Amino acid sequence: MVTQTQIAKIAGVSRATVERVINNRGDVNDETRKRVLKIIEEMDYRPNRAGKTLAIKQRNLKIGCIIIQADNPFYEELNKGILEAADEFKAYGIDVIIETAVFTAKAQISKINELLEMGISGLLIQPTIEPGLADVLREVEARNIPIVTVNTDLLDYTSSLCYVGNDFYLCGKTAANLMQLLTGSACKTGIVTGFFNARSHADRISGFKDYIADYPGMEIVDIRENQDDEMESYYITRTMLEAHPEIDAIFLVAGGVKGACRAIRQQQEKTGRKIRTISFDDVPTTKELVRDGTILATICQQPVRQGRMALTILFDYLIDGKMPASSRMYTDIQIKLKTNIDA
């Protein structure tokens, strides 16, 4: 590995000049620039990241992260990934400031302003879908502060740097594919979703619908909304199953898994008929239901990895100017059964 000093020696200039050429900083005589560039090319110069990271400490970079305050175990996983990565980057001497906010636009905007005053150079956020946030994010970017959004997608805003999360539509298709295999392509499905107007939930449902369009034996009997609330979920699942005794498959699109499963189990016990159930994510309560067989399979989106990846992308961009491979980075779609739910 060549260093800037070696290149400087060969080019007959100072290290400072080489540095200027490499980082496009200040003015350099056109001829020397070309000469230096040629040597860089020939010797396949690559900056030493340890040197760079160490030197950049002098700039006192701060990365701001806004994480969700919620006793929702899914968010806890996501936060865990962010916090782990934060720890790692702190070990490189980069300051990572973690702010917690409830999941409302108002709370998030207020935290963003706090972080701006602290002089952050980058922002990581899991944005709420409430209106009002998008404009603030655009303002932040206008100040030349790159943003990475994680897990949640906004309809009216796209980070110019990166979104890290799931491909919800493809998840929905995968759910349908799974259901098809579990039911021999024949089932009458009841769908329990979180919110009709949440994009991620809607996308999963359209993926599901598009897939089963090719399977005439697969039918959607009813779709109901539980507002990600366990009690509501129990109620709507129970009434749905009572209204449609022909339902033999349930697709749980979002939260409220435990409540829905209680209704499903009761119905199974009453009628003796198996209801094939699949869900999303693997929060502890869902895991337990997979272990005991109530849920046959659950589709997971690696929240810890999402958190890590989001912060890593921001870090790499700030240190190296490295752009992510894509402006939409998707984590794997993982199918978990009772045998690999704890792996």
Q: How far is the CB of 105 from a second copy (least distance, A)?
A: 31
* Of positions 120, 148, 236, 296, contacts a second copy by CB under 8 A: 296
Residue with tokens 């400087």: 8
Instruction: Kindly state whether residue 51 participates in binding a second copy, applying the rule CB under 8 A.
Output: yes
Report which of 278, 307, 231, 230 is spatially closest to residue 74, judged by C-alpha positions: 307
Token pair in block for residue 297: 């399979």
174 binds a second copy (CB under 8 A): yes
Binds 181: which of a second copy, DNA, none (CB < 5-8 Å by kind) = a second copy
Quickly count: other Cβ atoms within 10 Å of residue 298's Cβ: 26
The binder of 59, among a second copy, DNA, none, by C-beta within 5 to 8 A per type, is DNA
Residue 231 binds to a second copy (criterion: CB under 8 A): no
167 binds a second copy (CB under 8 A): yes
Q: How many other C-beta atoms can be found within 10 angstroms of the C-beta atom of residue 150? A: 29
Q: How far is the CB of 121 from DNA (least distance, A)?
A: 11
> Scanning residues 125 to 164, which ones bind a second copy (CB under 8 A)?
none
**Three-state DSSP class for 321?**
coil
Check residue 282 and report its DSSP letter: -
Q: Which of 210, 212, 217 is nearest to 184 (CA)?
A: 217
Reduce the secondary structure of 168-198 to three states and give it as a string: HHHHHHHHHHHHHHHCCCCEEEEEEECCCCC
CA–CA separation, 321 vs 2, rounded Å?
A: 20
Among 22, 43, 182, 221, binds a second copy (CB under 8 A): 182
For a second copy, the closer CB: 2 or 136: 2
* Binding flag, residue 252, a second copy (CB under 8 A): no
14 binds, among DNA, a second copy, none (CB under 5 to 8 A by kind): DNA
Among 43, 97, 170, 221, binds a second copy (CB under 8 A): 170
What one-character DSSP code corresponds to residue 129? S
Residue 325 found at the interface with a second copy (CB under 8 A)? no
Of 162, 154, 145, 144, the residue nearest 63 (C-alpha) = 145
Q: Residue 333 in contact with residue 299, Cβ under 8 Å?
A: yes
Candidate list 65, 257, 297, 329; residue touching a second copy; CB under 8 A: 297
Residue listed under structure tokens 């805003």: 157
Q: How far is the CB of 41 from DNA (least distance, A)?
A: 15
Cα(257)–Cα(246) distance, integer angstroms: 21
**Binding partner of residue 167 among DNA, a second copy, none, CB cut-off 5 to 8 Å per kind:** a second copy
86 binds a second copy (CB under 8 A): no
The Cα–Cα gap between 134 and 141 comes to: 11
Report the nearest approach of a second copy to the CB of residue 227 (Å): 28
Q: Does 246 bind a second copy (CB under 8 A)?
A: no
Cβ partners under 8 Å of residue 283, min gap 6: 72, 73, 74, 77, 257
Binding-site partner at residue 142 among a second copy, DNA, none, CB < 5 to 8 Å by type: none
Instruction: Using CB under 7 A, list all residues that contact DNA.
Output: 1, 3-5, 12-17, 19-20, 22-23, 25-30, 32-33, 46-48, 50-52, 54-59, 93
User: Token pair of 13, please?
Assistant: 């200039």
* DSSP 8-state class, residue 59: G
Query: Could you tell me how many residues of this chain bind a second copy (CB under 8 A)?
Result: 38
Kindly list the residues in this chain that would bind a second copy in the complex (CB under 8 A): 1, 46-51, 53-54, 57, 90-93, 167, 170, 173-174, 176-178, 181-182, 184, 211, 296-297, 330, 332-340, 343
